[in-house]
């Protein structure tokens, strides 16, 4: 496909001028402190929520296992997503908060680095895998658990500056 019949947005840095995927060259960038926070919502039946809260799951510590899985996943992001840079991660925190109004859990992942590129994908990967692990640990009680609303909550640092979603 030639450039004549292919229009490419200048914001899509993972595409070269022929529209082919490429890993972005960040070697000229100065390392700066960057942090990203992502969230995932896991919704389930009240009985499943109560069993997890009471620790009555045959597979063991559901929330502890999901937390560790999220941390491990953040560290593997560049192996999972083809064009992500491997980054030195200085902080990974996965918080799983019970929410009886769902009923279910809100999973927050915070990832921090000092590098040439951001950690949004690492934060999103952390909450995604933590949510999947929670599902895996509890699927024996309920197959209809829903993983919802995985998104970036905020990011700081880098050339594009700080980000937080607009209030709706």
Is there a binding annotation on residue 17? no
Is there a binding annotation on residue 122? yes
> Cα(145)–Cα(53) distance, rounded to whole angstroms?
15
Is there a binding annotation on residue 84? yes
Is there a binding annotation on residue 121? yes
CA atoms within 13 A on the CB side of 159: 8
> Cα(103)–Cα(58) distance, rounded to whole angstroms?
20
**Candidates 4, 16, 99, 136; catalytic one:** 136
In the sheet that holds 32-43, the strands lie side by side as 89-99, 104-115, 32-43, 146-156
146's tokens: 């829903």
DSSP string for residues in 111-154: EEEEESS--HHHHHHHHHHHHHHHHHHHTTT-S--EEEEEEEEE
Is-contact 38 122, C-beta < 8 A?
A: no
Q: Is 136 a catalytic residue?
A: yes
Looking at the annotation, which residues are catalytic? 136
Q: Which residue positions form the known binding site for substrate?
A: 83-85, 121-122
């Amino acid at each position: 496909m030639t450039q004549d019949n292919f229009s490419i947005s200048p914001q899509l840095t993972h595409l070269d001028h022929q529209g082919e995927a490429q890993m972005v060259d960040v070697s000229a960038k100065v390392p700066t402190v960057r942090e990203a926070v992502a969230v995932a919502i896991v919704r389930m039946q009240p009985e499943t929520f109560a069993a997890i809260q009471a620790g009555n799951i045959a597979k063991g510590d559901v929330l502890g296992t999901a937390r560790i899985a999220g941390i491990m996943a953040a560290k593997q992001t560049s192996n999972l997503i083809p064009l992500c840079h491997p980054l030195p991660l200085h902080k990974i925190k996965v918080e799983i908060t019970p929410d009886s109004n769902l009923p279910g859990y809100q999973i927050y992942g915070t990832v921090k680095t000092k590098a040439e590129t951001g950690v949004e994908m690492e934060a999103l990967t952390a909450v995604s895998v933590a949510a999947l692990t929670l599902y895996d640990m509890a699927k024996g009680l309920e197959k209809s658990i829903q993983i919802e609303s995985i998104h970036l909550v905020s990011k700081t640092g880098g050339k594009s500056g700080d980000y937080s979603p607009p209030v709706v």
